[in-house]
Structure 1
Amino acid sequence: MARHILITGAAGGLGSAISERFAAAGDRITGVDAREASLRDRVDALATAHGVAVDAITADLSDPAAGAVVDEAWERSGPVDVLVNAAGIWPATPLLEMTAPMWDHVLAINTRAPMLTTVALGRLAVAAGRPASVVNIASGAAIRARPGAAHYCTSKAALEMLTRSCAVELGAQSIRVNAVSPGFVAGSSQDVNPVTEEYAAAVSTNVLGRAGQPHDVAAAVFFLASPEAAWTTGAVLRVDGGSSAGNPALPLHWTGTTSAQSPG
């Protein structure tokens, strides 16, 4: 049976790929984004390519009423089975230039909005006696700080804890909450969150030797929302080419024979 999938940030690179993955499986899609024209083009393309029911909700997720998109999607297209919080921004702001509004705007979209949408879905699902699944899009920045991203790194670290907190409180109601933590993904929303070629080259070093692609992340999201992950909640799945495992570019720390090596 087709599920109803609500995806925020659906007009972006990751959101588009995630929408595509679910639509290809025959699921109904409601996309949410602040970019109305791009969002409409995206959901119309899904309907044409896959013959699925689609809807588009234009919304600014920095609004304190961001959770209302879940109520609207539920009312317009039926109960929401899966919520994917893929909307996010990552501006570059040197720490000594940071202001309260800059900080608050990033945290509002990247952390507060997923909390509000998860709470809204939880209330509706519990009232209807239905199970549900939430998948948040975290980031390797949650565990690795970088210059100019104090607000972004903090927002994603908080999102990982939010994922675990929501999983603990909602598990008894059959609502699973997980996260996918991507490494650097090529072409993910360059229109809104551009990066320089130098930055892309620097962060593309990983164990598997390539940058991620949006479909790599979409596959992980699809798995966590599927029955195959029915006993998985509170998890953060790192889809990063092994970059969180270590740095393969480092040289051997000692080139001579050590006491742990056989002399022969």
Structure 2
Amino acid sequence: MNAPSVTTAPRLSGSRVVVTGGARGIGGAIAARLAVEGADICILDRLVPEGTAHAAAIGGRFIEVDLLKPDDITRAMDEALTSLGGVDVLVNSAGIFKLIPLLDITVEDWNTMFSINTRAMLTTMQSAARSMIDAGTGGSIINLASMAAKKGGAMEGHYAASKAAVVALTRAAALEWGEHGIRANSICPGYILTEMGAATRTDEQIAEWTSYSPLGRLGVPDDVASLALFLASAEASYLTGQALNVTGGMVMH
């Protein structure tokens, strides 16, 4: 007797998703993974050629945005929500990273890091939450933090602080917006092999970090995308306010 065939429906069929920083790297992998599962994707990014090409490849949309300009973020979110007809999932993946000794961090360094990594995220969250509340359908907000938010890091004090703020901001959203059916969680990636990370690290550093992982490897963007898919789906309907690690065991709290 032949076993019955099992057809699995796309987990995000019909879901409207905005992904910031979705042109490449972790955000690009998340956008692609969610699109495969049936989501209608709108990528917001400053990288026009890369974002346009990636959006076309996954059957989505692309809108250029400058995350240093709050008014431009609001404009881009308004365009995205109009284009999609609303939003069910917001993924904040855009961010910057720079190595600077703590004694050398300037006010400009600090403000730029927080403007992109934290303030811009608040603006997109507010736009998405207002739309979700008005629609009365709830939704999922997924913010990319970092394991640096939990363990700190030498030469990256302003980066770690901005990502710790992301975790706190996400938990505040979970508490305030939960009554509207909005879930908010953050993902804390470890060493993920992306273009941004590779540009700032040597082969020796990468080899050293690999040795820290109980799994014996560094992460890849798809490792983060798998968790983002779960958080975006109905399977995570009772999960909110969490800061979930994707670190290969390098951080276990």
Report if TM-score (shorter chain) is over 0.5: yes
Unaligned runs of 5+ in 2: 1-12
8 Å CA contact retained: 1:132, 1:174:
yes
Report runs of 4+ in structure 1 exceeding 3 Å deviation.
188-191
8 Å CA contact retained: 1:67, 1:113:
no
SS of the equivalent of 1:159 reads helix
1:158 corresponds to which residue?
165
1:100 corresponds to which residue?
107
Mapping for residues 202-241 of structure 1, pairs under 5 Å: 202-204=208-210, 205-241=212-248
Following superposition, the deviation at residue 201 of structure 1 comes to 2.5
Which of 29, 50, 57 is the matching residue for 1:45? 57
Which of 162, 180, 193 is the matching residue for 1:186? 193
1:31 corresponds to which residue?
43
1:61 corresponds to which residue?
67
Following superposition, the deviation at residue 190 of structure 1 comes to 4.9
2:15 corresponds to which residue?
3
CA offsets, 1:118-173, max 9 Å, x none? 11111122122221110011110001222221110000111111110110000001
SS of the equivalent of 1:61 reads coil
2:204 corresponds to which residue?
198
Structure having the larger proportion of residues in helix: 2
2:251 corresponds to which residue?
244
Question: What is the letter of the counterpart of residue 14 of structure 1?
Answer: I
Following superposition, the deviation at residue 237 of structure 1 comes to 1.1
8 Å CA contact retained: 1:206, 1:241:
yes
8 Å CA contact retained: 1:12, 1:189:
no
Mapping for residues 123-138 of structure 1, pairs under 5 Å: 123-138=130-145
8 Å CA contact retained: 2:20, 2:44:
yes
Unaligned runs of 5+ in 1: 48-53, 247-264
Distance 2:182 2:191 in 1: 29
Decide which moves more: 215-224 or 204-213.
Answer: 204-213
SS of the equivalent of 2:58 reads helix
8 Å CA contact retained: 2:245, 2:252:
no
Following superposition, the deviation at residue 97 of structure 1 comes to 1.8
Matched, 1:148 2:155: yes
8 Å CA contact retained: 1:180, 1:236:
yes
8 Å CA contact retained: 1:134, 1:177:
yes
1:110 corresponds to which residue?
117
- Residues 190, 184 of structure 1: CA spacing in aligned structure 2 closer, same or farther, 3 A cutoff? closer
User: What is the count of residue pairs matched by the alignment?
Assistant: 239
- TM-score, with structure 2 as normaliser: 0.90
Indicate the structure (1 or 2) with the bigger Cα radius of gyration. Answer: 1
8 Å CA contact retained: 1:207, 1:243:
yes
Which of 87, 96, 117 is the matching residue for 2:94? 87
- TM-score, with structure 1 as normaliser: 0.86
Distance 1:16 1:22 in 2: 10
Distance 2:204 2:109 in 1: 25
8 Å CA contact retained: 2:145, 2:188:
yes
Question: What is the letter of the counterpart of residue 54 of structure 2?
Answer: R
SS of the equivalent of 1:234 reads coil
Distance 1:97 1:83 in 2: 35
Identity rate, percent: 38
Question: What is the letter of the counterpart of residue 225 of structure 1?
Answer: A
Following superposition, the deviation at residue 95 of structure 1 comes to 1.7
